[in-house]
Structure 1
């Protein structure tokens, strides 16, 4: 299955509620984070809106935006 290239448009006259859009996640230097694949880490660099560098102890990873698999602790 392929994912549509654009989200569905919500008509103003529709009786159904528009789907909730999640707010973008913001991280700052020194934040402790948890990543679904890499585990616990510390933010060591931020490229605003593009990517961020995270130190996971055994390695450093560049995580591109959106940060759907990462949460602040």
Structure 2
């Protein structure tokens, strides 16, 4: 069983276990937002796929980073 399949299971109200915790909403990015990444440094958002991924220009590499954006911080 994969973790993505387990995440889609619904919580039964009669279950003796706690409902799964819902994590914070992924941060939203807009075109031309400045961001920083732990590995690639300073960059600018050049493409946005709402809730799926962002494309960022870090100078030499242009990368598509998928949600959740763990190492990405909006400046």
Q: Could you state the TM-score of these two structures normalised by the residue count of structure 2? A: 0.69
- Structure 1's unaligned 5+ residue stretches are 12-18
* Contact 2:53 2:65 survives alignment (8 Å): yes
Aligned residue number for residue 52 of structure 1: 54
Corresponding position: 1:35 with 2:33: no
Paired residues of 2:26 and 2:51 also in contact (CA < 8 A): no
Q: Which has the higher helix share?
A: 2
**TM-score (ref. length: structure 1):** 0.71
- SS in structure 2 at match of 1:58: coil
Q: 1:65 maps to which residue?
A: 67
For the pair 1:10 / 2:27, whether they are aligned, the reply is no
User: How many pairs align?
Assistant: 63
Runs of 4+ residues deviating >6 angstroms: none
